[in-house]
Amino acid sequence: MKEIRDNDFEQAAVVSQEIVKKVDKESDYRTVTGFFAKIIAAIAITFSVFQIYTAAFGTLDAMLQRSIHLAFALCLIFLLYPARANWPRDRIHPVDVIFAILGAAAPLYIVVFYQDLVLRAGLVTTTDYIMGIIAIILILDAVRRVVGLPMVCVAIAFIAYALFGRQLPGPLAHRGADLPTLVQHLFYTTEGIFGIPLGVSSTFIFLFILFGAFLDKTGLGQLFIDLSNAVAGWAAGGPAKVAVIASALQGTVSGSSVANTAGTGSFTIPMMKKLGYKPEFAGAVEATASTGGQLMPPIMGAAAFLMAEFIGQPYFRIVTAAIIPALLYYFGVWTQVHFEAKRLGLKGMSREELPNIGFVLRERGHLLVPLVVLIYLLAKGYTPMRAALVAIILTVGCAMLRKNTRISLNDIIEGLEKGARGALGVVAATACAGIIVGVVTLTGLGLRLGSVLVDLANGNLFLTLVFTMVTSIILGMGVPTTANYVITSTIAAPALIMMNVPVLAAHMFVFYFGIIADVTPPVALAAFVGAGIAKANPLKTGIQATKLAIAAFLVPYIFVYNPALLLIDVHVLDIILIAITSIVGIIGVGAGAEGFFLTDLSVFEKIIFFVGGLLMVIPGMQTDIIGFVLLAIGYIMQKRKKALLNA
């Protein structure tokens, strides 16, 4: 264990950081020293202090709060992320300094002239028009630098649709909008850039990112790994199961599949390889488990906050609805990891190599208190912003309780800076998502696309779900979680709502498939990071990760056909029945996918287990009975085969 920690762990951590910089634009920032380093730190710390102050003493008017929030973020993005990939990373180019000044000035124009803009009530002057165009261009460039080109291309396509949509044939045509009208709608109303996505970023999301930064300072990530090792490290294929548990825990505070893969993967992937797992499987396990962190309450990659605002339901309602699907997802990954370990004959680590759970909890268990209190406050009806603020204060306070977790004043200041830096990608993505949402509200594109998908499916719910799934996966490729959800919910969810799918189930459906794009080739960012750490083939790792994530492809269909899984109009017996049939079904599907149950499966047995499991997953008494019979037949065949092998 010590050898793994001292050698493989450190080496993998360095490798993971280099890979993340190549795959994740947000991690590829400048490292400057001297005067500019102090300026950047001062702006970032002031950004965090502003967010904490407004959370504690009351937020400003929506446009003011969001404008200041965006001004801080754009200024920092242009200082930290160079305009060109080949520009030096140890100093700031004069062009970026100019962009940083403009990035702060454009949103602050709204703050300075707020009263005039309100009195003009939508009338845009030439100066307003110019500042709006500058701001939109700066936001697109900021997104290019910190998020990547895919989202920029989507936003530009939507802008083009708004300007030239009148020339399109068929149902997608609209009456069109000229450039001044579009600029006014996108930049001077709360229907576009300063809409709900940026509004949630400027209140809830930033504080939760800051909360995560402080938790990281206290060493919570290592606590998660130690607890996971203590719980599952001894089991068959122990390190892979550790990866599943640790990534699920880390996902409660992490806002990124890629960052989660790099963070826990730098420890778990070398352990899996040492035990005997193939590199592709090791990388895929970590990528799949880390991606599932975005589906795991209470934070869910910050999309839960947006979902609550979009559908007008309490935040805690979203979180409770997500619990059972998330657990089924992780159970599916765990099942396949277990069968693969059994197939390869891999055992866990000895108890002597593993940390003692009692000792771990005595030494650092107090670090879990802020998470427990956060969940309690949310359950009691506190606003997410207030709950996050209390959790941040508790994190610092709890860390001070023991010497081995105590953080210094410098650590607190670094936490403020790290939190602001960690929020930049989210701010840029939500501002850009506001452009997309603004075009949709201006043109009615959401309902038009929904009608197109329903017409393509000829009114068939299953086909509509399939088309929506494919659309959500494509739209989610290479896009951060929050923006991913905004795009998929705006474009794809209306089709399901038109088919009378409950609003929560429709939004959760597109959210799941947008997230699963992180492990679905060809743009499987989390899988590529896992492959890089494992020194594995990226495409093979992505394919393996997709297979491991099979529960994520099944569970959304379950809760659409049977919303009781999301606790919608549900009775306790309904939940128990759905949970049992789903668990049994996922075991069957997992066995069929891995080709192992009690022993290796023949092709015929694979089909029996996979089809039987699938039928158990599909809601309905008839399908459950047929699925159970098939799985029973498969089990009997496996028992006989194993008895013959042992004879």
pLDDT digits (tens, 9 = 90+) for 4-57: 444 555 565 565 566 666 666 666 778 888 889 999 999 999 999 999 999 999
Helix pair 257-275, 525-534: axis angle to 10 deg: 30
The residues facing 600 across adjacent strands are 596
Residue 169: which residues within 8 A CB-CB, separation 6 or more? none
Give the chain's end-to-end CA distance (angstroms, integer).
38
Cβ contact 44:77 at 8 Å: no
Highest mean pLDDT among 65-74, 114-123, 286-295, 309-318: 65-74
Higher pLDDT, 158 or 521: 158
Higher per-residue pLDDT: 494 or 86: 494
CA angle centred on 54, ends 52 and 57, rounded to 5°: 105
Of 586, 588, 564, residue with least CA distance to 576: 564
Q: SS3 of 514, please? A: helix
Cross-strand pairs, 596: 600
Residue 617 has pLDDT above 50, yes or no: yes
Token pair for 68 = 């200041």
Residue 120 to residue 470: CA distance in whole angstroms: 44
Q: With 60 as the cut, is the pLDDT of residue 333 above it?
A: yes
Which of 259, 256, 262, 330 is closest to 300 using CA atoms? 256
List, as one string, the DSSP characters of 72-100. Answer: HHHHHHHHHS-SSTTS-SSS--HHHHHHH
* Residue 72 or 271, more confident: 72
Structure tokens at 12: 């993998």
Distance CA 635, CA 627 (A): 12
pLDDT recorded at residue 251: 66
631 versus 277: the higher-pLDDT residue is 631
DSSP run (H or E) holding 509: helix 503-515
Q: What is the pLDDT of residue 7?
A: 54
Residue 242 CA neighbour count, 13 Å, CB half: 34
Mean pLDDT of the chain: 86
Q: At a CB cut-off of 8 Å and minimum separation 6, what does 84 contact?
A: none
3-class DSSP string for 13-38: HHHHHHHHHHHCHHHCCCCCCCHHHH
- The tokens for 210 are 């800051």
Mean pLDDT of the 606-616 span: 93
pLDDT at 1 over 60: no
Model confidence at 148, in pLDDT bands (50, 70, 90)?
confident
Contact at 8 Å (CB) between 301 and 44?
no
What pLDDT, in 10s, does the model give residues 51-104?
999 999 999 999 999 999 999 999 999 999 999 888 888 889 999 999 999 999
Residue 550 has what pLDDT? 87
pLDDT (average), residues 546-572 = 85
Range with the largest mean pLDDT of 80-94, 386-400, 481-495: 386-400
Using CA atoms, how far apart are residues 426 and 482, in angstroms rounded to an integer? Answer: 7
Distance CA 76, CA 616 (A): 51
Q: 159 CB contacts (<8 Å, ≥6 apart)?
A: 136, 182, 435, 439
Tokens of 34: 């001297």
Q: Looking at residue 356, what is its pLDDT? A: 83
The type of residue at 596 is: F
Is-cis flag, bond preceding 522, omega within 30? yes
Residue 13 tokens, joined = 């951590």
Angle in degrees, CA 189, 191, 194, rounded to 5:
65
What's the pLDDT at 3?
Answer: 45
Residue 386 in this model has a pLDDT that exceeds 80? yes
pLDDT, average across residues 227-254: 75
Give 428-465 pLDDT, tens digit per residue.
Answer: 999 999 999 999 889 888 778 888 888 888 889 999 99
pLDDT at 4: 44
* Alpha helices (H) along 444-480: 445-456, 461-476
- CA pair distance 22, 44, nearest whole angstrom: 24
Neighbours of 79 (CB within 10 A): 23
Structure-token pair, residue 237: 């294929």
Which of 73-87, 239-253, 357-371, 558-572 shows the lowest per-residue confidence on average (mean pLDDT)?
239-253
Residue with tokens 């291309």: 153
Number of H helices, E strands in the chain: 32, 0
Confidence of residue 487 (pLDDT cuts 50, 70, 90): confident
The pLDDT, as a whole number, for residue 327 is 86
Residue 263 has pLDDT above 80, yes or no: no
| Mean pLDDT score, 266-281 | 82
Give the global pTM.
0.84
Answer yes or no: is pLDDT of 562 > 90.
no
